[in-house]
Structure 1
């Protein structure tokens, strides 16, 4: 089983078989020992000793994905399967200790590659890559209306003017044809939009 798991999981996974009949030399088989630096004849770990002392794993067959630390200070991800006799006493343990430093380095690389630290002076607006001017206008209008939280049919004149103000500040009216799109979305005439827009510009 030790050799099988080592072949399946690769060089960064240490596979260890412990015999609890001699905790001072409990390691009876090991593969990829470079992960922890141990060899056959090494003693049980502090966790193994605690498990044997506490007797609290009688109803549990394994523990998984806990942190281990090698003698050199390397962080490992560890899992242990308990080998029990007919009385449910732990007589052996099969342990897997994975060196995930390479994966952690790769994750950090990906975080740096695809993540970002917001610049306090950076533009907060989300950049949208639209296929056409009409699509850009429509998306911008719908975003402002949605954020307002009231359907156009229920908006008062003052609320619609506030919408126009936000759209004007966003630059939507720089787009050709945007007046018609806004009028359609707000359920008013284009003349009304021009009137609201003139009012906003005078403020």
Structure 2
């Protein structure tokens, strides 16, 4: 362990913390209302919660002090702590993880703490994890491909856009390939090396045709 010494944060440090505000909201949105996500500032003049989502889990809001356990995790100096258990004043048992946020110089400027309420009813917890309007596996919707390389990423995107275009009755057959190329261009797919011949192959058209469509877009 090492001694924890808080310092006054710089404007650039706060820019990093501000940028993490959407991360706080994103994690909370992914795991639902029973997971609290708190971003703490380690500014010696105002150490405490800087951003928080689902604060009802512990009853806290921005400005609340850093917990003793979070400070202990900071003192340990481990960037991502092992999971640990805590209990709130209202006797809620939490499973928690603390991540140290560092600036470009490697100095700790914040703590990102995730606290899961283990006492939440299982049905409520599952409902929060899988909202009623969420597309479940096997249901209709837009599939997400976790590509392992660039070629897979391009191929899966082309196939997805192609499927969308083919299912749109408002697009005539003669304009479908052009529409696919137009949408792929909008997604930035043609910034990838080798994407044009791969797209041509998947659409069963020539590379020259893809280039022709792209030149038409550049003139607009």
Q: Taking structure 2 as the reference length, what is the TM-score of the superposition? A: 0.42
Rg larger for: 1
Q: Taking structure 1 as the reference length, what is the TM-score of the superposition? A: 0.45
